[in-house]
Amino acid sequence: MADVDKKNEFMQAYEHYADAIYRHCFFRVFSKERAEELMQETFMKTWQYLSNEEKEIKNIRPFLYRVATNLIIDESRKKKDISLDALIEESDAREPAYEGHKDAEKRALLKELYGNLEKLNADEKNLIVMRFVDDLDIAEIADILEITSNNVSVKLTRAVEKLKTL
Amino acid sequence: MTSFFEKLNILKNTLHLESARKKALGQELLNFIHHLDAVRAIETERHIQQRSGFLFNNPLLKPMPLLAIVTIFATLTGGVSFAAENALPGDILYPVKVNFNEEVRAALSFTPEAKAEWETRRAERRLEEATEISASGTINNKERVELEENFKEHADKVNARIDEFEEKGNLTVAADVANRFETSLKAHQEILARFESDDRAVQAEIKPLKKKVNDELDDISKTRIHIESRIATHDGKPETKTAAEGKLKAAINNIATTRNFIELRKENLGADATTEAEVKLKNAENLVLEGRAKIDAGTYGEAFNLANRAMRMAQEVRLIIEAEAKMNAKYGRKNLQIDLLKKKEVGNETDVKKESDDENKNTGNEETKNSLRVETEGNTEIQNGGAKSEGELRLHLGL
């Protein structure tokens, strides 16, 4: 029965957080197909951890973001150079809904954002997405990345300053 | 001038997973959870058998090459069997995908309908693999023969299931399975037809594959027509009415989803493909209207059959466009351009008409006939009794 409860709770977490994790992944990899795969892999790895009887996750939200962050780091280590056009073309394979926006507008915005984010290093990109896309606060980000809140504040401020000058 | 953060805000508030896609991914997640449970159950069983010394008598264990056994144990640490899902013939994890992953999923299909669904999916997976290795130009004889044999094995199982359903009087279920399989085969027939290559070795392998798909398609079309003719005689039955109403709803949803899918991908499809897809979807909608009229008239069997035709059309459009999108993204548009076909040309156009199944002939509906039209641009000269064209060759899919 405990297994069934665990499974049900886990699937509820999926219902609750899948969209947010997908969004996080999308703004890191700028590919809809890859963002879906990363999101799915995040939940699968989380379940693999949870399905071990001895393991427990007290707060699943930061755990999910931590897994997603690590997967994206692995991804970026393997990724070859690829043009933005190729990324966006590949991402059109499965397009999420963009309410109220025509494709051309959305594509233009995406290109701009991608270009801006590319000026940051990987840590800074991650912080910007966590703070301004995922709406996580400093303490939550620190918990996810397992660094101090002070460290998060300093790096985030630096990243924001860089973006303001663009 | 909009700041970075304003732009980010605009996009983030409008970016989300489509609910159907979220649901589908959630189902895959559940399948994965069940899969992991099954793997752990098998491992527990293996430990028990090892301790008792009856390792080789375990019915769960089939003789496997050493690589597969090692891979399975690696699976228990997490991740390998999932990675195998993307493996293609020739990849090191392909035997894990086919002999382990798929067998576990087969074991988790408990109802006859679920078993039929999974067998159909397995046959589809072989065709998808064939499409992918054809597109990449890596197909070779050994892999093609293996794919064909596996495909045939699963296709035979699908046909056996359909026969069972029919024998037991589950005609609507039999029709559903037959329709699904036929749609998939038709879509893959169209997709494989695109891969004309200058590489003779690749051509030599694609040709027998196409023939295999064509043969299976002929068989399943005949089966489906036969079942539908039996369903048409069950007009008055309440269960037929329920099935027909459900099928019409499903057809409407399918058409809407497909239309949405095409709309979002218009830029990558080109005007011709979009127009042709829309024509097909409009035909599907007309069939739904006809189906509704049949329900009102009390001819539920005919309504069910019409709804199935509508579903087939919409599903076929989606499958073809999905495959095109995937191949375009992976292998680049130019790999899907069709090389010069050595056909008789009339002016700058070549018409190659393909007859679809009997029901389309009978309805006389020109729009539902499948056609493949090849246009050439540029100069055409006649040399030595043949024709030689320069310039871009475009393939128009009559969907």
Q: Read off the pLDDT of residues B254-290 as tens digits, 9 standing for 90 and up.
A: 898 888 888 777 766 767 777 888 889 999 999 999 9
Query: How far is A34 from chain B, CA to nearest CA, in Å?
Result: 12
Nearest Cα to Cα of residue B277 among B305, B304, B315:
B315
Structure tokens at B311: 């579903």
User: What pLDDT shows up at residue A85?
Assistant: 55
Tell me, yes or no, if the pTM score tops 0.80: no
Interchain contact A66–B (C-beta under 8 A): no
Which chain B residues touch A115 with a CB distance below 8 Å? none
Q: φ, ψ for residue A139 (rounded to 5)?
A: -60, -40
User: What pLDDT shows up at residue B310?
Assistant: 92
Does residue A131 have a pLDDT over 60?
A: yes
Average pLDDT in the A69-95 region? Answer: 61
Does residue A53 have a pLDDT over 50?
A: yes
Which chain A residues touch B32 with a CB distance below 8 Å? 44, 47
Average pLDDT in the A117-144 region? Answer: 91
User: What pLDDT shows up at residue B382?
Assistant: 33
Does residue B296 have a pLDDT over 60?
A: yes
Average pLDDT in the B130-140 region? Answer: 79
User: What pLDDT shows up at residue B283?
Assistant: 93
Of the pLDDT bands very low, low, confident and very high (cuts 50, 70, 90), residue A19 is: very high
Q: What is the 3-state secondary structure (H, E, C) of chain A?
A: CHHHHHHHHHHHHHHHHHHHHHHHHHHHHCCHHHHHHHHHHHHHHHHHHHCCCCCCCCCHHHHHHHHHHHHHHHHHHHCCCCCHHHHHHHHCCCCCEECCCCHHHHHHHHHHHHHHHCCCCHHHHHHHHHHHCCCCCHHHHHHHHCCCHHHHHHHHHHHHHHHHCC
Q: φ, ψ for residue B196 (rounded to 5)?
A: -95, 130
User: What pLDDT shows up at residue B196?
Assistant: 61
- Backbone angle region of B378, left / alpha / beta, with phi > 0 → left and psi within -120 to 50 → alpha: left
Q: CA-CA distances (angstroms) from residue A25 to A22, A95, B370?
A: 5, 14, 41
Does residue B60 have a pLDDT over 80?
A: no
Query: How far is B182 from chain A, CA to nearest CA, in Å?
Result: 24
Question: Do the Cβ atoms of A51 and B33 come within 8 Å?
Answer: yes
Own/partner pairs, B352-357, CB within 8 angstroms, 24+ separation? B354/B398, B357/B221, B357/B225
CA atoms within 13 A on the CB side of A116: 24
Which chain A residues touch B266 with a CB distance below 8 Å? 103
Closest-approach residue (CA) in chain A for B79 = A45
Three-state DSSP at B367 gives helix
User: What pLDDT shows up at residue A102?
Assistant: 54
Query: How far is B326 from chain A, CA to nearest CA, in Å?
Result: 6
Q: Which of A7, A113, A166 sits opposite B8 (nearest CB)?
A: A113
Does residue A132 have a pLDDT over 60?
A: yes
User: What pLDDT shows up at residue B109?
Assistant: 75
Q: What is the mean pLDDT of chain B?
A: 72
Which chain B residues touch A132 with a CB distance below 8 Å? 5, 8-9, 12
User: What pLDDT shows up at residue B391?
Assistant: 34
Task: Please give the Cα distance from A103 to A69 (Å, whole number).
Answer: 28
Query: From the candidates B3, B15, B266, B335, which should be mutated to test the interface with A, based on the most A CB atoms within 10 A?
Result: B15
What would the pLDDT profile of B19-55 be if each residue is shown by its tens digit?
888 988 888 888 888 877 766 666 666 555 555 544 4
Q: What is the mean pLDDT of chain A?
A: 82
| Alpha-carbon torsion, ordered B214, B215, B217, B220, to 10 deg | 180
Closest-approach residue (CA) in chain B for A7 = B33
Of the pLDDT bands very low, low, confident and very high (cuts 50, 70, 90), residue B178 is: very high
Count Cβ–Cβ pairs < 8 Å, chain A vs chain B. Answer: 109
Of the pLDDT bands very low, low, confident and very high (cuts 50, 70, 90), residue A24 is: very high
What would the pLDDT profile of B77-89 be if each residue is shown by its tens digit?
444 456 677 788 8
Q: Which of A36, A45, A112 sits opposite B7 (nearest CB)?
A: A112
Does residue A127 have a pLDDT over 90?
A: yes
Q: Which of B16, B325, B329 sits opposite A96 (nearest CB)?
A: B16
User: What pLDDT shows up at residue B350?
Assistant: 37
Q: In b/e form, how buried is each residue of B356-385, taking b as 16+ CB within 10 angstroms?
A: ebeebeeeeeeebbbbbbbbbeeebeeeee
Question: Do the Cβ atoms of A93 and B82 come within 8 Å?
Answer: no
Three-state DSSP at B15 gives strand
Task: Please give the Cα distance from A96 to B17 (Å, whole number).
Answer: 5
Does residue A51 have a pLDDT over 90?
A: no
Q: Residue type for B354, please?
A: K
ipTM, two decimals: 0.84
Question: Do the Cβ atoms of A98 and B5 come within 8 Å?
Answer: no
Average pLDDT in the B166-173 region? Answer: 88
User: What pLDDT shows up at residue B86?
Assistant: 77
User: What pLDDT shows up at residue B51?
Assistant: 55
Own/partner pairs, B119-124, CB within 8 angstroms, 24+ separation? B119/B154, B119/B157, B119/B158, B119/B161, B120/B154, B120/B158, B120/B177, B120/B180, B120/B181, B120/B184, B122/B150, B122/B154, B123/B151, B123/B154, B123/B155, B123/B158, B123/B181, B123/B184, B124/B184, B124/B188
Question: Do the Cβ atoms of B18 and A98 come within 8 Å?
Answer: no
